[in-house]
């Protein structure tokens, strides 16, 4: 074994892969993440896609990035990288701001020719000096080394160039003591049907690793600590895949077949892709012709007795609003997944925001209440997709699951749970003793939940629709008093869900005077910020919301305990306004960001300190 010089022992480290959108940065980053999760590291990733479909090669607008944070106590992808891999000058220029001072910049020096510098709008022939780069620069001839490794492969030049990312991966595996066997396993799975491509990439991976061994004395290397983790089978999983798997478990636990009616839209499409693979589990995933057809097909499937789901992102949620209103009026279970992105309109389709909250809670005509929940992390997408399904089926209501591009595309290490860790879902079927007198809108008098009659059940022939129904007879009614009563019943039914969800939990310094709150995919950044503030002597408590409508039943009591309440969210203050509307007299201070990017922990820390110092 070759002994390394300049070894730094760290609890955690951040690596950022960057290059053109066709350079395979996402693949290299994903393999490195999977390998790191396999050796016991906690991981958190942030794929940073360009908004352009295919910008000119080597241009600033075409840079694609993948940032991964590995180690112990990891909750975010990290504010800045310790190691930056830049496959061309544009990638270096766009990402130098993400590199820590004194970090390592690995550049493919073969792509730093004058023409390449000109494409990236450099004005001198020394890009490192022009950027004022304060880092250990490792100039690696990635392109020429890749070509040399594959000189006898028989591949054409285009195919050879596509292997450059794997050379960089091999080098990074050397820097962080990652086992090549694990990386080869993932490459074999990726190129199972292309053995020649796998062989080429395996050679290049080894070449990158060997190059690192040969220059080991010229740059710092890192050894990352792992922690004792709960025994089990672990895998790296992104939020969209976790969402799909959570729905599958809910189908098994409810005994109802899973149906997805959806239309492709960034960044939610991967849910459709994943469920389309699962015919072996009885999943019916149908790509419809548009967003409206997607939700309407799901409503039909729900009427037929399926666990019915439709997935989309912000603009698609607007198109589905009339259909969701029909499901509210018909009182059918329906899960609507909204993987939020930058808006309005097509906005920033590959970037993340939390700007659909008010649309989810209120964005339908008439009094049209639905349950709204939000996962906190990529792995929590599994749990909250299951929860959304459970609530929809047991309470006969549409449920909107507010994910976002950050956690939908981002990934974390996930322990595959045992099936008995999640409860049985109990559909609200018509009780046997009520079948003789049953009417379509007959409901449980305590929970106000309508009974679910599966078509084809003897004696339960019925029809539902969007027109108002009489509370007692279930026939169409235009009586104004009855309408008001039905509006209130539907509202109370959703409000009663508060008794079937966990209470709000307070973390960090519970005795503080200041409470930091957030919701959805900001959890990791806010929790880390609260921990850093407490470690610095600032007394801060932290509470995070995964249930939005209804709110946890102890929300008012928790908020009233704190002198200062600060809400950090990736919008202009929608959740803060929502809370102030619920609790008269409550003042919520705000930390807001609407840049298509997740928070940096430092931004939250600085924002909290600024508010605390003014009190």
- List the domains of the chain with CATH numbers: 7-224 (3.40.920.10), 236-421 (3.40.50.970), 506-614 (3.40.50.920)
Looking at residue 256, the DSSP 8-state letter turns out to be -
Question: 577 exposed, middle or buried (CB, 10 Å; 0-12, 13-18, 19+)?
Answer: middle
CA distance 404 to 474: 39
Instruction: Give pLDDT, residue 139.
Output: 95
Residue 395 has pLDDT above 60, yes or no: yes
Among 8-17, 83-92, 379-388, the minimum mean pLDDT is found in 8-17
CA distance 605 to 375: 23
Upper half-sphere CA count for residue 157 (Cβ side, 13 Å): 2
The torsion region of residue 366 among left (phi > 0), alpha (psi -120 to 50) and beta comes to left
Q: What residues contact residue 239 under an 8 Å CB cut-off, 6+ apart? A: 339, 375, 377, 378, 379, 381, 403, 407, 408, 409, 410, 411, 521
190-226 burial by CB neighbour count: b if 16+ within 10 A, else e? ebeeeeebbebbbbbbbbbbebbeeebeebbbbebee
End-to-end distance of the chain based on CA atoms, in angstroms? 58
Task: Please state the rounded mean pLDDT for residues 455-462.
Answer: 93
At 371 the three-state DSSP class reads: strand
CA distance 277 to 274: 5
CA distance 503 to 545: 10
CA distance 455 to 450: 15
β-bridge mates for residue 111, sequence order: none
Task: Please write the tens of the pLDDT for every residue from 110-133.
Answer: 999 999 999 999 999 999 999 999
Task: Please write the tens of the pLDDT for every residue from 261-297.
Answer: 999 999 999 999 999 999 999 999 999 999 999 999 9
pLDDT class of 233 with cuts at 50, 70, 90: confident
Task: Please write the tens of the pLDDT for every residue from 235-271.
Answer: 889 999 999 999 999 999 999 999 999 999 999 999 9
Distances (CA, A) of 118 to 43, 121, 300, 476: 36, 5, 56, 70
Instruction: Give pLDDT, residue 476.
Output: 97
Instruction: Give pLDDT, residue 430.
Output: 97
Instruction: Give pLDDT, residue 244.
Output: 98
Distances (CA, A) of 478 to 481, 491, 570: 9, 19, 42
Residue 3 has pLDDT above 70, yes or no: no
Q: Across the chain, how many H-helices and E-strands are there?
A: 22, 22
Q: What are phi and psi of 424, to 5 degrees?
A: -70, 135
Question: For residues 27 and 47, is the Cβ–Cβ distance under 8 A?
Answer: no
- Residue indicated by tokens 């290490």: 413
pLDDT above 70 coverage of the chain, percent: 97
Task: Please state the rounded mean pLDDT for residues 469-475.
Answer: 97
Per DSSP (E only), the strands in 130-270 are 135-140, 221-224, 234-238, 258-262
CA angle 363, 367, 372 (to 5 degrees): 50
- Residue indicated by tokens 């930056």: 84
Instruction: Give pLDDT, residue 501.
Output: 98
Task: Please choose, from the candidates 395, 351, 393, 391, the residue with its C-alpha nearest in 3D space to the C-alpha of residue 374.
Answer: 391
Question: For residues 331 and 396, is the Cβ–Cβ distance under 8 A?
Answer: yes
pLDDT class of 10 with cuts at 50, 70, 90: confident
Task: Please choose, from the candidates 5, 8, 10, the residue with its C-alpha nearest in 3D space to the C-alpha of residue 216.
Answer: 5
523-534 burial by CB neighbour count: b if 16+ within 10 A, else e? bbbbbbbbbbbb
Instruction: Give pLDDT, residue 222.
Output: 66
Question: For residues 320 and 295, is the Cβ–Cβ distance under 8 A?
Answer: yes
Question: 303 exposed, middle or buried (CB, 10 Å; 0-12, 13-18, 19+)?
Answer: buried
pLDDT class of 2 with cuts at 50, 70, 90: very low
Task: Please state the rounded mean pLDDT for residues 75-103.
Answer: 95
Task: Please write the tens of the pLDDT for every residue from 591-600.
Answer: 999 999 999 9
Secondary structure element (H or E) that encloses residue 101, with its range: strand 99-108
Residue 405 has pLDDT above 90, yes or no: yes
pLDDT above 90 coverage of the chain, percent: 88
Instruction: Give pLDDT, residue 217.
Output: 47
DSSP, residue by residue, 401-432: EEEEHHHHH-EEEEEPPPGGGSPPP---BPPG
Mean pLDDT over each residue of the chain, to the nearest integer: 94
Secondary structure element (H or E) that encloses residue 181, with its range: helix 180-190
Task: Please write the tens of the pLDDT for every residue from 513-535.
Answer: 999 999 999 999 999 999 999 99
CA distance 306 to 320: 19
Range list of H helices, 79-149: 89-95, 114-119, 127-131, 142-149
CA angle 102, 170, 226 (to 5 degrees): 65
Residue 490 has pLDDT above 90, yes or no: yes
Question: What six digits make up the tokens of 488?
Answer: 């209130």
Instruction: Give pLDDT, residue 216.
Output: 67
């Amino acid at each position: 074994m070759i002994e390394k010089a300049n070894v730094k022992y760290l609890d955690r480290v951040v690596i950022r892969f960057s290059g053109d959108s066709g350079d395979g940065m996402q693949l290299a980053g994903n393999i490195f993440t999977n390998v790191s999760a396999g050796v016991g590291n906690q991981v958190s990733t942030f794929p940073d896609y360009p908004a352009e479909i295919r910008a000119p090669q080597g241009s600033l607008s075409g840079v694609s990035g993948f940032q991964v944070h590995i180690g112990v106590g990891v909750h975010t992808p990290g504010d800045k990288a310790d190691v930056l891999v830049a496959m061309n000058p544009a990638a270096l220029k766009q990402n130098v701001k993400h590199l820590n001072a004194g970090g390592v910049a690995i550049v493919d020096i073969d792509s730093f020719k004058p023409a390449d510098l000109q494409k990236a709008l450099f004005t001198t022939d020394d890009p490192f000096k022009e950027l004022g780069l304060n880092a250990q620069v490792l100039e690696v001839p990635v392109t020429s080394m890749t070509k040399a490794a594959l000189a006898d492969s028989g591949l054409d030049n285009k195919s050879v160039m596509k292997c450059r990312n794997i050379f960089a991966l091999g080098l990074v595996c050397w820097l962080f003591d990652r086992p090549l066997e694990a990386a080869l396993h993932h490459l074999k799975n990726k190129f199972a049907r292309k053995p020649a491509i796998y062989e080429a990439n395996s050679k290049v991976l080894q070449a990158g690793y060997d190059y690192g061994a040969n220059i080991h004395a010229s740059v710092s290397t890192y050894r990352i600590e792992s922690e004792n983790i709960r025994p089990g089978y672990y895998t790296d999983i992104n939020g969209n895949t976790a969402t799909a798997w959570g729905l599958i478990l809910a189908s098994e636990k409810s005994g109802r077949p899973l149906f997805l009616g959806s239309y492709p839209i960034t960044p939610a499409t991967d849910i459709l892709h994943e469920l389309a693979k699962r015919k072996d589990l009885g999943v019916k995933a149908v790509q419809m012709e548009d967003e409206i057809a997607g939700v309407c097909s799901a409503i039909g499937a729900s009427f037929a007795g399926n666990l019915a789901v439709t997935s989309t992102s912000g603009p698609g949620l607007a198109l589905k609003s009339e259909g969701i209103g029909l499901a509210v009026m018909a009182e059918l279970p329906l899960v609507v997944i909204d993987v939020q992105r930058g808006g309005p309109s097509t906005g920033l389709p590959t970037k993340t925001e939390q700007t659909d909250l008010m649309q989810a809670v209120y964005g339908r005509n008439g009094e049209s209440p639905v349950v709204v929940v939000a996962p906190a992390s990529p792995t929590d997408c599994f749990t909250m997709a299951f929860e959304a399904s459970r609530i929809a089926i047991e309470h006969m209501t549409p449920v909107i699951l507010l994910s976002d591009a950050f956690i939908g595309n981002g990934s974390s290490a996930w322990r595959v749970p045992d099936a008995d860790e999640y409860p049985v879902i109990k559909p609200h079927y018509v009780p046997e003793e009520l079948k003789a007198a049953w009417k379509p809108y007959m409901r449980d008098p305590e929970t106000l939940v309508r009974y679910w009659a599966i078509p084809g059940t003897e004696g339960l022939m019925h029809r539902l629709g969007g027109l108002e129904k009489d509370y007692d007879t279930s026939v169409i009614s235009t009586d104004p008093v009855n309408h008001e009563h039905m509006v209130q019943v539907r509202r109370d039914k959703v409000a009663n869900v508060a008794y079937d969800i966990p209470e709000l939990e307070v973390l960090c310094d519970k005795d503080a005077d200041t409470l930091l709150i957030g919701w959805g995919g900001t959890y990791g950044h806010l929790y880390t910020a609260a921990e850093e503030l407490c470690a610095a002597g600032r007394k801060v408590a932290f509470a995070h919301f995964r249930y939005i409508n209804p709110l946890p039943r102890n929300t008012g009591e928790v908020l009233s305990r704190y002198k200062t309440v600060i809400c950090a969210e990736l919008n202009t203050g929608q959740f803060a306004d929502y809370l102030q509307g619920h609790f008269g007299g409550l003042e919520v201070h705000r930390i807001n960001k609407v840049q298509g990017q997740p928070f940096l922990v430092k931004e939250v820390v600085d924002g909290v300190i600024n508010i605390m110092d003014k009190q």
